[in-house]
Structure 1
């Protein structure tokens, strides 16, 4: 993932804090954290019956995964790993879309676990 591509992807999803001083690696960590926070918020709104806010939170998580994490993949240099991550991100987005339609917390939980697995691996390779 190139630094500029990661920074641009991060800026597009509208997360503000610390972006200017963050390394490319930290920017991706921030995307993972933002996606997780949005999924937690969606789960809470779902439990409280606040469907409008649940939808907003899931839309934000989807936006972070699509326009942040997936868009930041360098498919030329990343090869098979980038392709697999792209497919996994597509799967996560599908889970979140279905979670929204069916009001299914289990789908949010599955998406969250997948994102956390990738995030923990990403944190391990910190420069």
Structure 2
């Protein structure tokens, strides 16, 4: 992807974030992490070490961001389990980067897709934290 295409795409994402509800922002974070893992995987397979490290690092940062927004008071055990899973995925991404292991990237991709799928299935009336009447 050339630089102007990337800037155009980023501008589109930023404008979507500015009007998105919290539920959609989390969806965008999942999408961003999955995209960066995919690009990092491609760079890994092509031997582009700098790009691989950059993209995997960005995916780890997104996972850290997802961990940071967990609500332990409302989420209880689920929030604790998600925190542990995000930490595990970050560690797997780090290992994938260090050892050039695309299988670890695939594992994290599968896990993230499962979490995102569950998140996407939340009914519209619960997406803003308040059930519509």
TM-score, normalising length from structure 1? 0.85
CA deviation map 1:24-62 (0-9, x unaligned): 110000000000000000000001100010000000000
> Unpaired segments of 5 or more residues in structure 1?
1-14
State the structure with bigger RCO (CA 8 A, min sep 6), 1 or 2.
1
Q: 2:34 aligns with which of 33, 36, 52?
A: 36
| Aligned CA distance change for structure 1 residues 51 and 102 (closer, same or farther; 3 Å) | same
Tell me how far apart the structure 2 counterparts of residues 106 and 85 of structure 1 sit (CA, whole Å). 22
Tell me how far apart the structure 2 counterparts of residues 85 and 37 of structure 1 sit (CA, whole Å). 20
- Counterpart for residue 51 of structure 1: 49
TM-fit CA distance, 1:77: 1.3
Is structure 2 residue 75 aligned with structure 1 residue 78?
yes
State the secondary structure of the residue aligned to 1:20: helix
Is structure 2 residue 65 aligned with structure 1 residue 64?
no
Q: 1:108 aligns with which of 75, 100, 105?
A: 105
- Decide which structure has the larger Cα Rg and report it: 2
Q: How many residues align?
A: 112
TM-score, normalising length from structure 2? 0.82
- Counterpart for residue 121 of structure 1: 118
